[in-house]
Structure formats: C-alpha cells, structure tokens
Structure 1
Amino acid sequence: MTLRNILLGATMLCAATAPAYAFAQDAAPADDAAAPAESYDYGNEIIVTASKRSQTLQDTPVAVSVTSAADLQNSQIRDLIDLQSSVPSLRVGQLQSSANTNFIIRGFGNGANNAGIEPSVGVFIDGVYRSRSAAQVGDLPNVERIEVLRGPQSTLFGKNASAGVISIITQKPQFDFGGSLEASYGNYDAIVVKGDVTGPISDTVAFSIGGNYNRRDGYARDLHLDQDVNDRNRWGVRGQLLFEPSDALSIRLIGDYDKIDENCCIAANIVAGPTMGITDALVGGPSVDRENPFSYDVYNNFLSENRIKNYGGSAQIDYDLGNMALTSITAYREVRSFANQDSDFTAADLIGRKSDDVAINTFTQEVRLASDFDGPVNFLVGGYYFNEKIDQKNQLFFGDDFRPYGNALIQAASGGALNVPTLEAALGARDGDPAQYIDSFFRSGDGFDEAYRLKNTSWSIFGTLDFDITDRLTFTVGANYTQDRKRFSTDVVSTDTFSAIDLDAPQYAPFRNQLILGGALQQAGVNPNDPAAIAAFATNPATAAIFQQFVAFANANDSNPAANPLNGLKAFQFLPPFLNVPNAVEPGKTHDKDLAWSARLAYELTDTVNVYATYATGFKASSINLSRDSRPLASDLPAIEAAGLTTPNLVGGTRFAGPEESEVYEFGLKGQWSVAALNLAVFKQSIKGFQSNIFTGTGFALANAGKQSTWGVEFDGSVRPVDGLNLTLAMTWLNPKYDSFVGSAFGDISGTKPAGIPDLSASMGATYTHRFADDSRAIFHVDYLYESPTRMVDGLQGFPAGFSDQFKRTVNQLNASFTFALSNGLELGVWGRNLTNARYLTTIFPAVAQSGSVSGYPSQPRTYGVTGRFKF
C-alpha cells in the first residue's frame, strides 16, 4: 500500500469541524470560465498569509488553522470568543467584564485582568496589532478569513507573539459593485444586523463600508435587583478606500469605530463559606444563590457597567518593484474602556464601587521588503515600531454594609473578645487620642483611589531567508531582534484607616498584653471580663501561681510578632497604604532585548504531500503590574527601609514580571488530494518565565514561572466522500507541566500539570450542500466541540492543597444550521449554538474578601434563531 493510500484512507475515517480545511460549499457551475475563483478553493488550496507571503495552505510550513467567511456564517461565529468552537488548539475565556478576554493557544496565554500585561497570543486585524483584549472582541463585518498560527511567531511578527497569533483578514474594496445585508433574530430577543457595500469610485479608486449591530437581553436574572443581566449591546462601522493608480501601486486606507455598552459578567456561587451567614443576615434574606451556578440567578446590589470605545485607522501601501515587493502598514488606535462591577457578587453592599477606567493610545509602523526571485534564494526583511501610552484610573470603595461585615469578621476571628468599636477605642487610646478612630474602620466610601501610567516603546528588525537546496527541499532561517522599553508610574492613595495600622507597633503592647492574658484566663475557665473572677483566681492559693505564669507569659510575648493575638485580624487589612513608584529605590522602568530565531526544513515528498521540521524561539517583553497589588520585590525591601520609604504593612510582591522566552520543536505533515486534505503537527513547546497572574481573593499575584512546557499532537483533516458532503475533524492532544514554578501563589507547584488545559480537544462536523436545478442551494451544517475533563485552577488561596482538584470542566457543545440560498442572492436560515444546553464553569476563583467561599463564571446557555441574508 502506498503512502498516498495510507494517508488518504486515514483521513477518510475522520468526520468533523476544522473549518480551516473545509471544502468549498458550492460545487463548480457548468460554465467554468464564469465561475469565481473561490468556488474552486477548498482544503489546502486556500490562500493564506501566515508567513507574510501569499501561499496555499499546503505550501505554508507553519501550524495554522484557517476559518473562512463561509465557516463563520455556517457556525454562527459572532466574535473571537466563539472561534474556539472551531479551532481546538485555541481557548478563549471572557472573565469579569467585556474588556477582559484571555486567548490561549496550545495551553499558553495570558493578558486579561491587568492593562499592563500584554497577551502572549498576539491579535492582528489586517496586519495591525491589537495590544489589549478590549480592542480585539467585536463583530467584524466583511471577514474574509481568520488565521490562527500556533507556536512562537516572533520572527515574523513585531510584537509579543510568544505563544501564537490570531490574524483576522477582512475583504478589500472591490471594483465591481456589490454587497450584502444580514439580519438575525434569536432567543433572549437577540438581534444581529450586518451590512456592507463595495464598489468603484473611479477606475483607480474603490470603496467599501460595513456596519454591524448586536444586542441581546440578558440570559441571567438578578433576583435582588429584579433585572435581567448579562446582556449584549454593541455596534460598529468600518470604512475602506482602495487606491490602485497603477499596476504596481496599491494603497488601502481603513477606518473603524466600535462601541460596547453592556452588563457583564455574572459570577455564580460555587462554594458557600462561613461568611455567607453574615451576608445573608445583612440583607435579611439570601445574598447569593448558594452552590447553584447554572440557575443563572444572581444577587447584586448594583448593576455592572461595561463601556468600551475602540477606534482607529491604518494605511497599507504595497508597491511592486518587479522581483521585489515593498509593504508599509501605519496605524493609530485608541481604546477607552470603563467597567464598574459589584465585585463581591452578593446582595450585601460590601464593595460599593470597583471601577476601572482605561485609556490606551497605540501607534505602530511596519515596513517590509519581500523578494520573488527565480533563483534558489529569496528573502523577507522588515522593521517594526510600537509606541503605546496607557492612562488608567481605578477606584475600590467600601459599601454601606462593609462596616457591619468587618465587625462580624473581627468578632468571629477573636472568639467574640473584640468588635470594631472596641478595637477603635483601644487602639486610639494607645495612640494618645481615644476618639481618633471612632467610626473610621471599614467606613463606607473609604478604599483605594488609583492612577497609573505606562509608556511602552519597542522596535524590532526581522527577516527570513529561503534557500532552495533542491526543487523539493527548502531551508528557511529567520530572526527578530527586539528592544522594548517601558516606563511606569503610580499615584495610589488608600483611605482605609484600619489597613494603615501596624498591629505589631510597640504602643499597642499593653493592649496585646491584656488580650494574651485574657485568652489564657478564658482557657482556664475564668471570664476575662469579670474583675471579681480574675481577682479570685489571682489570690486563690491553688491558682495564684498559675495566674502569675499567665502574667509572665503575657509580659514576655506582648511584643513578640509570632504570638500577637491581633495576628488573626491582619487578614482584614485589605487595602494597606501603597508605596508609589518611581521612588528612590525603584526606577519604574524596564528595558528588555532579545534575538529570536527560527530554522526550518520543508520537503515536498510528492505533489500532494509536504513535510517540515522547525525549531523556533519566541519572546515577550516584561509585563507591568498596573494594579493595587503592585508591591516591591522582597529583595528591595531592605533598601526601601534604609531610604525611609517603608509604609505600614508593606510586604514584598512584584512591580512587573520579567520577559517570556519560548521555544518549539515541531514536525509537520500536510497532504492535499482530490477528495481529502490533512495536516498533522507533533511538537514540544516551552516558555521560560511564563507570566502567571493569579487571583487570590483580594487581588492578583503576578509572577514568572520558571518554565512551563507541553508536548502534543495536532491533527486537522477533511474529506468529501460524495459530491456536496464535506466532513472535517480537528483534534489536539496536549501533555503540559510546570517544569519549575517555585514562587507561585500556591507555593512550589513544580512538576504539576497546569490547570485549564484539557488533554484532548476535538472539533468535528459536517456540511452538506444540495444544489437544485435553478442553482438554488440547501446547506446543512453541524459541528461538535469536545474538551476532556480538566482541573480548572492551579489552586485556591485560603484552601488546603488539593481542594481545587474537585472542580473540573468538561465541554460538549453542539452547533447546527440550515440555510436555503436562492439563486438571486437571498438566503434564509435557522441556527443554534450549544443545542444540548451543555453547562460548565469557564473558571473559578476565591470569592472576593469572603474566606471559604468560591465563585465562578458559568458558560452561556443554548441560543438559537433565524437569519435572513441578501447578497448583491
């Protein structure tokens, strides 16, 4: 049996969804000369630009998945969050707001929850880098295809592509007049409208303009506020001009504006800890829907806000120099993002305000020159410049219920010996003013007022060199030298009085002495609040010696931090004074440089089968901790103390996480036959210094893992057993681990498997197109996504080791659509996503300031609807 037959037979056994390799839905019309080129494109004949050259998918020796416009339409993929149902190596998670979305490829990815952390997965739209998730999530009109490049891509992309790239390509303006209009209606009163029109302005100038509107009622219910929540409300416009004054010169101008104004995102209660009794008592009823995450019933005391404006423009110039091509892409973008959320996720007014107001301005410039010589050597060389400014203002204030809540916490932690008024009076008296703290602990409106600034400039020089050793064997080497500089500053003020008190301070020794002695007496059965009982115990000959031992112990330990009876209260000093940066010890800047490189051999075994072997490195610069959890490095604390900069309750942490350096060893095979196609990749990939950002219940811990690695296998295949039927399958198997992670938020977790990465992901499906005599078509599509059970988090702060292992996520999602397309351009269809109403938690985390409780984000429920579309 020949190699060709073995590969073809294996592919024909597979049936399922890898739209990247899907065959065209339209059979070629009888008059081939009149058929548009795309009617013939299927499988690896799709043209991609993953290597920054136009090549067929088969000839591109890179692990890349391509989702076409037809795939997006059939699967009702609205935005990048839905894209993961078609690309198993990709995971997309939306967290606490519409502006916090995390992209993960092959188990590697970060970037949400902090504007100072750039993603490990770079997102590019028409060649323009979108640096933050708020600038990436949207409903783009006129998408031509989406390419997902897996593994380090730093040698071809100028900024932060250490784990992979998502490249979105939209359609250029056309010199033939045309367009489309689409409208959908679904459950939860979902309305989606898209439209575009394109055509000539003159013989050398063409235009296109498109718009989209997407709204939906909330699928969850806030029982406390009696309101639907988790709605969707977003719209955008996008205009383009294409100038082609000659055959050699092309200028493409793009401008766009997108807006989001919606309520997102609900968090459900997973574990109801001991504080739930307190919050229930504060509201006089249920404060959460206890341990029932898929009821989609929540209790909050104010509605969340998510408002995002994302706009900008770009200019791409392509100039044909004969056997070389020059390309320039210039872009300027702005993002304005505001979110305010009831972050305690209870009906009690604990967090009265938790807002993030972020402004990001980005300028990028890329220039590259690519050769197209007839000889054995070709090259691509380019330069990239990146300039970004971030201004961020955050606020975190206590609500009206936090004082009684804090009082209950202190009573519970002290065994009833203390409460807030007693503590205020006792500490104030030892500070010389008994009234100074009265009614000031956990006061409504107190908290953090924060301002951060970050300026990032980066430049890189990159290039590749292709050498044809034979007419079938090509050797490629590439490199990218990058320099990245960041300057950052903070202006953070805490007005939380209790968090500013040093409970180990010497003036409180008498108070601590009293508490130590009282605790000992209580253990001996003597009421420490009864002077007569104490006097009797102290003078009784049988117990007098014991009393003196108690006194001696209290005197010896009232200044011993390890024996401080107030230690249990330190956990409630949620918002300590902040040491701002830059200061005399910390300059508030980073400077990174790196040379990333790659080497690849690509061999054309036959006219239909190619293989390649690649070694590549990648790089991502330092990320800055622009949050209230920014802390000096522990190694800087002695110098800070020597400089007299120490603030009360200052502890070590991180101001930034150092660079990520990735590498991959990869072997790939690509095959293309008349009725089938397949792509196979086997790889070992690792990242040194992976930037981990873990929520601890009161904040985020940003730290570098020593090394995280995974090896895996990716398979994409498609087969057309009969005319009109296309079956596809995409599978990813991963075996990840932390090779070294000593300083994680949960201690040394070296040797363990990173959470959130399923061993097996598979996307499978089928599309059947029946063409009628009048050239009308009936198109049926179904796809299914499976992710094997996986632990959701590496650990949960405040819980014993292994507690989080019980929380696992399994994904089973079924999507389907049926479309009837008339020959006049009118299409009518029905569709559904998550038709089995599969439910799972996307992530879990310790409940905010509620020790012992766990919250999580539930997946979206079943959605379905009808669509009408007209193409002209």
Structure 2
Amino acid sequence: MAKLPSKLPGRKFQVSNTNPASAGHTALRAMLCLGVGLTALSAVAAPALAQESETEDTRTMQTVTITATKREQTLQDVPIAVSVVDEATIERAAIVDLNDLQSIIPSLRVGQLQSSANTNFVIRGFGNGANNAGIEPSVGVFIDGVYRSRSAAQISDLPNIERVEVLRGPQSTLFGKNASAGVISVVTKKPQYELGGVVDATLSNENGYRANGYVTGPLAENLAGAVGVTYNKRDGYVDDIGTGTETNERNRWGIRGDLIFEPNVNTTFRLLGDYDNIDELCCAAGNVINGPTGGIIQAIGGTLVPEDPYSYRVAYNLPSTNKVDNGGVSLQGDFDFSGMRLTSITAYRISNLETNQDSDFTGANLLGENSNKTDIDTFTQEIRLTSTDGDRLDWMVGGFYFDETVEIENALLFGDDYRNYANALAGGLNPATGTITDILAGLESALGLPVGTTFAQEGQGFRDDAGQDNTAWSLFGTVDYRLTDRLTATVGLNYTEDKKDAYNNIAASDVLSSLDLVAIGFAQALGGVGVDATDPAQVGAFAAAFPTEFAAIQAAVQDPASNPLLALQPLQFLPPFLGFPNVVEDGRTKDSSTTYTLRLAYDVNDNLNTYVSYATGFKATSWNLSRDSRPFARDFISGSPVTNPPSSPIRDAGLALPNLTSGTRYAGPEDSAVFEVGLKGVYSTVAFNLAYFDQTIEGFQSNVFTGTGFALANAGKQSNKGVEFDVSWNPINDLQLVVAGSVQDPVYDEFPNSASGDLSGQTPAGIPEVATSTAATYFFDVGSWDAYVRGDWQYESPVDHFDSAADQALIGEQKEVSTFNASSGFTNENGLGVTLWIRNIFNDEYITTAFPAVAQAGSIMGYPSAPRSYGVTVRKTF
C-alpha cells in the first residue's frame, strides 16, 4: 500500500509520459492529485494517492481508472455521470458497508427497512426492490462483474474492496442486465504475485468489534491467490423493553477466495468463491404518532413507547430475527487476440433469507408471527468481445443470459391478544372501566358458530407459498468513433427478452375475514319478512312482488347506519386469497425491449471536456409475490353477489371468493430515458464537474406500504430533472476541499391510480430537492508518521415522508438530514496505521422511513436514524 502523501500539489511533480503532445495534459492531471478517495467525484478525474518513486525523492501522481465502461479509462476521459469511491476513502471516512456510501455520494440513497436484507438503493430519486422478492431492483448491483439480483445478496461486507463505481441514469448498453435507474459496480482487488496483505481491527462503542484480513501471494509460476475474511459484531443500539433484548445489532461474517491463473501472456482466468452469513436482531421501528389505537394497546395489556423514536427504546413481544446466507462462485476468462479481447464471466449464486418479525411493533401480541423464508438461485453468463487497439474506432459487443428461481414461504398469524384488540376496535372497550365486551361472541352466536373460539383466534391468518422462474437474455454493444482528434461519437444498443412464470397460493384461515357481511345482512333482512335468501325462487318472487321494498333492503344492507355488521369490515384484514395460475390468470409474462445510447463527447482543450447524451433503459415486469397480490380489475370487478354484480372472467369461471377485491398481480415494465449535458474541467488546483439531467421513467414500479400490506402499481410517468455538481479545490498546500451535490425537481407527471389517490403533478415523497456532501481533508506530518484529519457534512433539504396527504398531515414533520462525520489517521513507513473516527457527531435525528402502523389506524411508525458512533481502527499492511 502506498504511503499517504506528506504533501499535496505544491511540491515538484514527475511526469512519466514523455510524449510531448500529451505531456501538458498529463501534467495537468498529475497536478490534480489531492489524495485518492477523499471524496467521490462524479464523472471527473478523481484524485489519486501519490506513489513513492523508487529512484527519486519526487512523487509521480497517478490518475484513477475505472472499468464500468468495460475498458480501463480515467474518470476525466469517461463522458458519463459516474462517481468513484476507492479504498482510501473507505478507510478514511469509516465506511463499513454499502449503506454508508450515501454520506459521500449525494445522488445515492440507501434505505434499510424492516430487516437486514430489505435494503433499497435509489439513484436520482429512482429505485425499488425491497419488501417483495418478485420485484427486481431498478438500481443494478454488480460485484466483480457479477449481477446481484436482490438486496439480500448485495449488502455483504467485503474484505478487499478496491473501488465502488456508481453510474447514474439508465444503463443498458454496457451491462447485459438492463438497469433502468443506475448501476453500483463493486470492484475487488485481484491476487498479486508478491506476498502481501492487510489486517485491521476496529473497536467501537456499543461493544463493537470488527476485523478484516486479506492475504495474497504466488501459488505457482502462473498462479496467484488471495483469501479475505471479515467479521463484524456490535450490540444493538435500540433497547427492547418488551423482550429484554437489544436490537439493531451487527452480527455478520464472510470469507472470500480468489485465484488468478495466467497460462500465457494472452490468457487470464479468475476464479472467485465466497460465503457470508448474517444473523441479527433488526430492525426497530419507533412510535412517531400515537393514534387512537394506542390506548387500546395499553388497555389489553400491551406496552409501547409513545411518540419518542429517538429514545431508542421500543416495546415488542418478540425479537425480530434476520438470518441471511449468501454464497456463490464465478469464473472470468480473458483472452487477448490481435486487436481484441474476449471476456467470459460465468456465475452461480444462492441467497437464503429467514426472518420473523414483530410487525405490529407493540408489546401486545397482535401478530404472533410474520415469518418469511426466501430462497433465490441465480445463474448468469456474460460474454464480451472488446477492441483493444483501435485508432479512430473502439467497439464492444456482448451477450448476457440470466436464469433465476425464487421460492418463498410466508406466514402471517394472529397472536393471543388479537381477539381482545378486535373487540375493542369494534366498540367493545369501556374507556371508564377499561373492560372489553366480547362483541364477536354475539356474531358467532347469531351465525350458529362456536362462541369464543371462531373469530380472531391465535394462529389464524395466512400461510403463503409463492415463487417464480425467470429467464432473460440480451445482446448489447457500443461503438466509439473519433470524428476528429477531439470529437467522439458513441452509439450503443441493447435488445432484451425476459420471461417469468410466477405462482402464489395462500391458505387463509381467518374466519371473520371470510364472511360477506353484506350478504349476511341481506339474508337477515329477508328472513325478517319470511323469505329464505338461499332459495332463488323465493328471492325472485319477493323482488317481483315488492320491488320498492326489495330495492330498499339492497340499499340498507350496504349502509353502515342500517347494517351494524359493516362496522366489523375494518377487522377483515386477511380475506380469502385467490391463488394463481388459474383458468383466468396464467401467471406468465414475456417482455422485450430495444434500448440505446447516443452521445457526443468533445475535448474543448486539454483541461476541459464536455458531452451531450441521450440514453434509454428498461426493467421487465415484476410480479407481486405477496399476500397483497389480487386480480386485476379487468379480470375481476368487485361487488356483492346479492346486488346483481357485473359479469367478469373471475366470476364467470366460478373463482369468486367472499371479500375478494381487485388490485394487481404484477407491475408492468419500466421504460426510462435520460437527456444529459456535462462539463468537466481539470486545472492545477481545481477540478470540477457539472451535469444537467432530465430523466423520466414510464411505468415506474411503485411499491407502497398501506398499513396492512403493500400496493404494487405502475406510475404512469415519473420524472426528475436537475443539476449535479462537484468541485475539488486545493486552496493551500496540503488542504483539500470538496463539495458535491444535486439540485433536482422530481414530479409524478402521471399517477392517477396510486394507493394514495391521484398523485399527478405532485412531488414524490422522499426525494430531496437539494442534497450535498462537503468534505475537508488536511495532511500533515507527525514525526515519521504521515497523518491527516478529515471532516464531512451530509445535507438533505426537508422532504415529505408520504405521498398520501392524509398520512403526511398526520405525521406533520418532514425529513431533513444534517449529519457531520470526522476521522483522523496516522500511517508510518512500516505499514502500521491508526484511524480514529466518529460518525454523526452531533446526533442528527430524523426518521429514515415512516409508514402507517400495521392495523392501527391513526398511528405512524418510523425507523430512526442511527445515533452517534465512534471507534478506533488499527491496520497493518505488509
């Protein structure tokens, strides 16, 4: 590992490129070097660590290369919006996992939801994929060229990261797996033929222990290997006073092996194998708004910590467990021929998730179980042929194949407090005495059912068996043609076909939810006039003889004022489920799309580059593999069977069930497009990037929690336009200042049928208009130690938590982020380093994600931001 530079630009620089035509450009790039990874720079030549010259006391400044474009290029030369975080940044900014990247990349947002594996990546306000294994992420994650299809497979700690590249906007012509919103590409270190490695250990508050080890070296003349291990454990920072446990902990480890075999100068094979395990109690949601149901919770003996999410105290009746196993193997082969390189990447991965959560987030046992077991097996094959010695023409063509199986087992079952809770919601609670009348017993008796043991019983609910088989393939390629020495035109194409076969079968045992309360009221009303509602002849005769009275009965049974049974409808949380495939719904989708990239890039001079581009992206249909999957309205029109319902395919096939309503089985494809203009400059003490973007997604796959489930639907059109910028400035010797940010204007252009009503013309919740990341780093010497001190500030302007105006009015407050971090490090010539770090210095408090409380109308829950953390890391490089 290179030493930290004791001095930054201001000393002499050695330019190793002796070509007079490019010496000036190279010198300017060398002068940019202000320390690799002090921050992420977007589409601009990133600073790099000074390397110790073996022959002279001067230092040669290197520029960072990236491979997101499938060929090695400097950031200055790449005319796309891309940010890079390298190993030095990860060390200095105390970045532990991908969640922390958002603190230095303003256009990236990472949200961890109800479990360790439910992590959502968002770029420029676009992103989804958590909370439903049937939904593909809009932001694609690749690790060493291998696509990670779900968030559970993306969050592993990696012991040997070289850099992380974040590409903004739709990506289709460089990656076989189309990504409609952006790409996160993680690149790890390759094995070396010299023995080396690094070990580090971290001690932090909350009894945190973290250790990494990485060793590499030769195994034979043409064979090198590397092994990396990581271990990360920390107590939870949330106290669960209900179960007596601490939640939001860390407990994960992983191992990774890597082999490089080079039988000759033109052939390289890289074999990677990894396994990681997560077994954590996570993630606590605090009570933000304590609605009218809070008193009922306490009346039935449940506890809660009302409206105090930043106390980091919750009261649950069972700990929320999360177990994730990830593993896989990949083989990459690179074969150099005359003027071209053939690359093949073959990979097989598994991801297994098991969770059980207290999803009512109270001390009352309303939901005794909300378990999920998801197994995902993924096979991918990518082949690329890339030119290597083009004069005016560079090209790349490739093919990609994807085969994945998803299997899901869910259970959502009532707990032993649910019947009392249901009776209280139905009006059985006496506020004066706190006693609860068993209202449900009266209904059971009236229907001739066993009293006290039929409705709202412990263990009733849903058991779910769902899954899908997904195969996809694509052909893609790009051509770069230098029209002049300074002007380059790029054309890229991608053709994708995607097939999915999905299924979902749920066994529903909630007896109360299976009752058609309108039909029961109708039968009772007819019985009162001596008509048997089960006899069509009697009903028809009565309707013919007394049409006015019959119409009045039909209207009355659908009016809560006349039919008291309708007061129980809000308790029918888990009605019978219509599984698929069935004779109406085949459970199959097939999508195809051609996407493209058009770009012109122009070198104004050796210091200034500009580009203009237009690119499109695509994401295939995502199936709703959850209990909220319902027939489309076109297949089923809801209505009571006693009130002359309209004809529909579901009803005509005899598949109608009591209380079955329409919804979505899947969300159709996303089609994205972005127009972008960028300007990049590199000067002796300043580097900057400025980009204007106008990005739209047609049919954005929205997945919104409604309080009892998730509503998956296509937004007609969602767009975002704005400006992204970053500036790196070296005002004095040894000091670097960096500011990066985005100013954007997101909007739902068309979204008439959202779960929150017509949102057309409104600003989407959760996307800040202004987001910035500011950092300052100062280098100095302490005796024989190279040292630095670093501080950074992450800011996001206030933004609504909800698209729903009613829910936003209920919570009142907006989300605003203003978080400060700091670190200081010391490294000597023997490879020994010490880093002191602190994150969220001033305990910035905000709710990362808010949502309606489960089956508790008027209450709002939310995930509070992590409190201050601090620690010390000791590192030895050899």
Q: What is the TM-score when the length of structure 2 is the normalising length?
A: 0.89
Matched-pair contact (CA < 8 Å) for 1:99–1:133: yes
Equivalent residue letter for 2:798 = P
Q: 2:444 aligns with which of 424, 428, 444?
A: 424
Describe the SS at the equivalent of 1:181: strand
Cα distance in 2, alignment partners of residues 853 and 607 from structure 1: 59
- 1:475 has 2:496 as partner: no
Q: Is the contact made by 1:513 and 1:554 (CA closer than 8 Å) also made in structure 2?
A: no
Task: Give yes or no for contact 1:18–1:716 (8 Å, CA) kept in 2.
Answer: no
The aligned residue for residue 408 of structure 2 is 392
Contact 1:220 1:298 survives alignment (8 Å): yes
Q: Could you give the per-residue CA deviations for residues 788-824 of structure 1, whole angstroms, max 9, x where no partner exists?
A: 111112117xxx3752572311111111111111110
Does 1:838 pair with 2:844?
Answer: yes
How far is the alpha carbon of 1:506 from its aligned partner? Answer: 5.2
Alignment root-mean-square deviation, CA: 2.5
Q: Is the 8 A contact 1:512 1:565 kept in 2?
A: no
Shift of residue 257 of structure 1?
0.5
Q: Which string of whole-angstrom CA distances, capped at 9 and with x for unpartnered residues, describes residues 399-424 of structure 1?
A: 01001111111126999998110011
- What is the CA–CA distance in structure 2 between the aligned matches of 1:385 and 1:200, rounded to whole Å? 33
Counterpart of 2:326 in 1: which secondary structure?
Answer: strand
Gaps of 5+ in 1: 429-433, 516-550
Give how far 1:261 is off.
0.3
SS of match in other structure, 1:510: helix
Partner of 2:745: 735
Given the alignment of the two structures, is residue 40 of structure 1 paired with residue 54 of structure 2, yes or no?
A: no
Aligned to 1:377: 393
Deviation at residue 845 of structure 1 after TM alignment: 0.6
Partners in 1 of 2:660 and 2:351 — Cα distance?
33
Q: Are the aligned partners of 1:26 and 1:769 in contact in 2 as well (CA < 8 Å)?
A: no
Matched, 1:461 2:475: yes
Pair 1:613–1:156, CA change in 2 (3 A): same
Distance 1:619 1:396, change over 3 A: same
Name the counterpart of 1:238.
Answer: 256
Q: CA deviation at 1:374?
A: 3.5
Q: Please name the residue that 1:671 is paired with.
A: 681
- Note the C-alpha offset of 1:600: 0.1
Map 1:140-219 to 2 at 5 A.
140-219=158-237
Q: Is this contact kept in 1: 2:676–2:692, CA < 8 A?
A: yes
Q: Specify the code of the residue in structure 2 equivalent to 1:424.
A: E
Q: Which residue, 788, 793, 796 being the options, matches 1:779?
A: 788
Change over 3 Å in CA distance of 1:209–1:706 after alignment to 2: same
Using the TM superposition, give the Cα deviation of residue 676 of structure 1 relative to its aligned residue in structure 2, in angstroms: 2.4
Give how far 1:564 is off: 3.7
Cα deviation, residue 227, structure 1: 2.2
Which residue in 2 is equivalent to 1:575? 574
Aligned pair in 2 of structure 1 residues 251, 572: CA closer, same or farther (>3 Å)?
same
The equivalent residue for 1:309 is 325
Q: Is the 8 A contact 1:155 1:598 kept in 2?
A: yes
Distance apart, 1:278 and its partner CA:
1.1
CA distance in structure 2 between the aligned counterparts of 1:458 and 1:556, rounded to whole angstroms:
51
Q: Which letter maps to 1:208?
A: A
Summarize deviations over 1:162-195 as a string: whole Å, max 9, x none.
Answer: 0000000000000111000000001000111001
Pair 1:849 & 2:855 matched: yes
2:504 to 457, 475, 490: 490
| Among candidates 787, 793, 810, match of residue 802 of structure 2 | 793
Distance (whole Å) between structure 2 residues aligned to residue 788 and residue 91 of structure 1:
14
Conservation of the 8 A alpha-carbon contact between 2:45 and 2:75: no
Structure 1: distance between partners of 2:551 and 2:684 = 88
Matched, 1:295 2:301: no
Q: State the AA in 2 paired with 1:766.
A: A
Cα distance 1:512–1:48, how it changes in 2: closer, same or farther (>3 A)? farther
Aligned to 2:266: 248
The CA distance in 1 between the partners of 2:293 and 2:120, in whole Å, is: 30
SS at match of 1:137: coil
> What is the one-letter code of the residue matched to 2:455?
F
Q: Deviations over 1:560-580 (max 9, x none)?
A: 467543223212111111100
Query: Could you say what secondary structure the match of 1:174 adopts?
Result: coil
Instruction: Provide, for residues 188-238 of structure 1, a one-character-per-residue CA deviation record: whole Å limited to 9, x for no partner.
Output: 001110010000111210000000000000101011222222111000011
Q: Is the 8 A contact 1:102 1:111 kept in 2?
A: yes
Distance (whole Å) between structure 2 residues aligned to residue 596 and residue 413 of structure 1? 60
Question: SS of the residue aligned with 1:168?
Answer: strand
Instruction: Rate the CA distance shift 1:804–1:153 in 2: closer, same or farther, 3 A.
Output: farther
Contact 2:423-2:429 within 8 A present in 1 as well: no
* Contact 2:470–2:498 (CA under 8 A) maintained in structure 1: yes
The within-5 A match list for 1:54-203 is 54-203=72-221
Which of these residues, 459, 462, 470, is aligned with residue 445 of structure 1? Answer: 459
1-side partners of 2:502 and 2:721: how far apart?
Answer: 37
Distance 1:707 1:83, change over 3 A: same
Structure 2 letter corresponding to 1:324: M
Aligned-partner residue type, residue 788 of structure 1: S
Q: What is aligned with 2:626?
A: 627
Distance 1:34 1:319 in 2: 39
Partner of 1:524: none
Alignment counterpart, residue 326 of structure 1, candidates 339, 342, 352:
342
| Counterpart secondary structure, 2:190 | coil
Q: Secondary structure at the match of 1:134?
A: helix
Find 2:758's aligned residue among 748, 761, 768: 748
1:52 is displaced (CA, Å) by: 1.2
Q: Which moved more, 1:382-391 or 1:217-226?
A: 217-226
In 1, Cα distance between equivalents of 2:727 and 2:842: 25
SS in 2 for 1:82: helix
Partner Cα separation in structure 2 for residue 196 and residue 557 of structure 1:
74
Worse-matched range after superposition: 689-698 or 553-562: 553-562
Structure 1 residues 33 and 622: CA distance shift in structure 2, 3 A = farther
1:26 is displaced (CA, Å) by: 4.8
For residue 453 of structure 1, give the secondary structure of its aligned residue in structure 2.
strand
State how far apart, in whole Å, the 1-side matches of 2:443 and 2:552 are: 19
SS at match of 1:58: helix
> Partner residue of 1:686?
696
Q: What are the superposed Cα offsets for residues 64-106 of structure 1, whole Å, 9 maximum, x if unpaired? A: 0000100000011111111100100000000000010011000
Q: Which residue of 2 aligns with 1:526?
A: none
Cα deviation code 1:809-855 (max 9, x no counterpart):
11111111111111101111211111111010001111001111111
Q: What's 2:651 paired with?
A: 641
* Deviates further, 178-187 or 716-725: 716-725
Letter in 2 for 1:789: P
1:302 shift after superposition: 0.7
Distance 1:125 1:34 in 2: 38
CA distance in structure 1 between the partners assigned to 2:55 and 2:459 by the alignment: 72
Partner Cα separation in structure 2 for residue 608 and residue 793 of structure 1: 45
What does residue 18 of structure 1 align with?
39
CA spacing shift, 1:508–1:419, aligned 2, 3 Å: farther
Match of 2:826 in 1: 820
Asked if 2 retains the 8 angstrom alpha-carbon contact of 1:25 and 1:724, the reply is: no
Q: Which residue of 2 aligns with 1:540?
A: none
Aligned pairs for 1:493-504 (under 5 A) are 493-504=507-518
Evaluate the alpha carbon distance shift between residue 511 and residue 59 of structure 1 in structure 2; reply closer, same or farther with a 3 A threshold. Answer: same
Alpha-carbon shift at residue 436 of structure 1 (Å): 4.5
Instruction: Tell me how far apart the structure 2 counterparts of residues 668 and 331 of structure 1 sit (CA, whole Å).
Output: 35
Is 1:510 the counterpart of 2:513? The answer is no
Assess if the C-alpha contact under 8 Å between 2:720 and 2:745 holds in 1. yes
Alignment correspondent of 2:769: 759
| Separation in 1, partners of 2:206, 2:590 | 49
Contact 2:522 2:553 in 1 (8 A): no
Once the two structures are TM-superposed, the CA of residue 378 in structure 1 deviates from its matched residue by: 2.0
- Percent identity of the aligned residues? 51
- Structure 1: how far apart are the matches of 2:267 and 2:160? 23
